[in-house]
């Protein structure tokens, strides 16, 4: 055996021996992945949560200082030029909006004139959102009180569908929120309900421009939030969050109550969610908004 080959074998033996010694230490030192959603969520909040008698720009600055990256106003309603100026001066983006009239002027209404107005309001919200750089309009599809589920399902799908061409043209998604509106779930039912009706409802639009802004707290009373996220899968385009306690039967601050946030994080990772997470709680002054921001950090490991 020549000297070069002998040195190569000796060096290889030393490296192998070193690996046996150092390997376990290196494995022990490797950081554990405790939160698979770290770095995937962007914090937002509803504009109405900023409780301060100040200008729009100052409200944006307050939200930014509290740790938020985006904000969701109602639309239409704000002046476009003022909103664009507030975005530029504060560095806080409008990631999306909430349709201003959807609770009162409903797509499920039995009155054709009301449905026509609901459609025009949705189109106006889409245009405003595009003008200020946002990419989604949150929509409550209607209310169960407007008729039998089969009828309000048909009415709302037919009406909302007419806004899809504009949504596609503008690049702004229509995102249906799961709310306590007695539609697509049993309001008097138990805690074992699923998201199956929401899945079928969204799929009926057959468009990538219609999805869900899934509210993690709204339906904890009725089913597992992690399981609902898994069922909705790719349909989840944005997120809202609030806390809820089944024992107390009421909404709570984010992180309080009994929502299984560990399972929620796991489910979001399983559906490969990356995107916005908006607080939808009462809000308050600067200190309270900082507290809400910190609650979101703790619940989601941000």
Say whether both 137 and 271 belong to one domain. yes
Say whether both 177 and 284 belong to one domain. yes
With a cut of 70, say whether residue 2 has pLDDT above it: no
Say whether both 4 and 130 belong to one domain. no
Q: What is the pLDDT of residues 186-234, one digit of tens each?
A: 999 999 999 999 999 999 999 999 999 999 999 999 999 999 999 999 9
Say whether both 143 and 282 belong to one domain. yes
Residues in the chain: 302
Say whether both 63 and 209 belong to one domain. yes
CA distances from 263 to 16, 119, 168, 238 (A): 41, 37, 33, 18
Say whether both 1 and 127 belong to one domain. no
Confirm if 63 and 50 have CB atoms less than 8 A apart. Answer: yes
Q: State the pLDDT at residue 18.
A: 38
Average pLDDT, the chain: 90
Number of domains in the chain: 2
Q: State the pLDDT at residue 37.
A: 85
**Confidence tier at 298 by pLDDT (50, 70, 90):** very high
Which CATH number covers residue 275?
3.20.20.150
Instruction: Please state which of the ranges 6-10, 39-43, 214-218 shows the lowest mean pLDDT.
Output: 6-10
Structure tokens at 85: 């100026």
Say whether both 143 and 10 belong to one domain. no
Say whether both 71 and 187 belong to one domain. yes
Q: What is the pLDDT of residues 234-276, one digit of tens each?
A: 999 999 999 999 999 999 999 999 999 999 999 999 999 999 9
Q: What is the pLDDT of residues 99-141, one digit of tens each?
A: 999 999 999 999 999 999 999 999 999 999 999 999 999 999 9
Say whether both 43 and 11 belong to one domain. no
Say whether both 26 and 47 belong to one domain. no
The residue with greater pLDDT, 35 or 177, is: 177
With a cut of 90, say whether residue 12 has pLDDT above it: no
Question: DSSP for 92-130?
Answer: -EE--EEETTTTTS-TT-S-HHHHHHHHHHHHHHHHHHH
Say whether both 16 and 42 belong to one domain. no
Count helices and strands in the chain by DSSP H and E runs: 10, 12
Query: Which residues span the domain enclosing 11?
Result: 1-30
Q: What is the pLDDT of residues 92-107, one digit of tens each?
A: 999 999 999 999 999 9
How far apart CA 278 and CA 300 sit, in angstroms, is: 12
The residue with greater pLDDT, 290 or 22, is: 290
Say whether both 11 and 135 belong to one domain. no
Q: What is the pLDDT of residues 128-181, one digit of tens each?
A: 999 999 999 999 999 999 999 999 999 999 999 999 999 999 999 999 999 999
CA–chain centroid gap for 76, Å, is: 20
């Amino acid at each position: 055996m020549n000297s070069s080959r002998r040195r190569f074998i000796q060096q290889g033996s030393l490296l192998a021996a070193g690996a046996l010694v150092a390997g376990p230490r290196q494995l022990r030192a490797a950081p554990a992945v405790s939160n698979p959603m770290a770095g995937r969520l962007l914090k937002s909040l509803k504009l109405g949560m900023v409780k301060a008698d100040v200008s729009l720009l100052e409200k944006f600055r307050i939200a930014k200082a509290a740790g938020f990256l985006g904000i969701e106003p109602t639309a239409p309603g704000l002046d476009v030029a003022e909103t664009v100026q507030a975005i530029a001066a504060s560095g806080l983006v409008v990631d999306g909006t909430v349709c201003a009239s959807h609770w009162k002027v409903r797509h499920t209404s039995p009155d054709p004139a009301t449905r026509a107005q609901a459609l025009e309001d949705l189109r106006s919200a889409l245009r405003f959102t595009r003008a200020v750089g946002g990419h989604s309009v949150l929509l409550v599809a209607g209310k169960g009180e407007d008729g039998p589920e089969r009828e309000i399902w048909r009415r709302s799908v037919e009406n909302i569908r007419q806004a899809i061409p504009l949504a596609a043209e503008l690049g702004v998604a229509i995102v249906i929120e799961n709310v306590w509106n007695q539609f697509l779930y049993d309001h008097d039912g138990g805690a074992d309900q699923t998201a199956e009706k929401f899945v079928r409802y969204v799929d009926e639009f057959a468009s990538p421009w219609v999805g869900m802004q899934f509210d993690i707290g709204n339906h904890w009373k009725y089913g597992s939030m992690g399981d609902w996220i898994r069922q909705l899968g790719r349909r989840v385009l944005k997120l809202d969050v609030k806390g809820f306690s089944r024992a107390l039967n009421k909404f709570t601050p984010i992180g309080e109550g009994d929502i299984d946030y560990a399972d929620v994080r796991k489910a979001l990772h399983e559906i490969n969610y990356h995107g916005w997470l908006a607080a939808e709680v009462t809000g308050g002054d600067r200190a309270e908004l900082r507290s809400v921001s910190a609650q979101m950090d703790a619940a989601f490991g941000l």
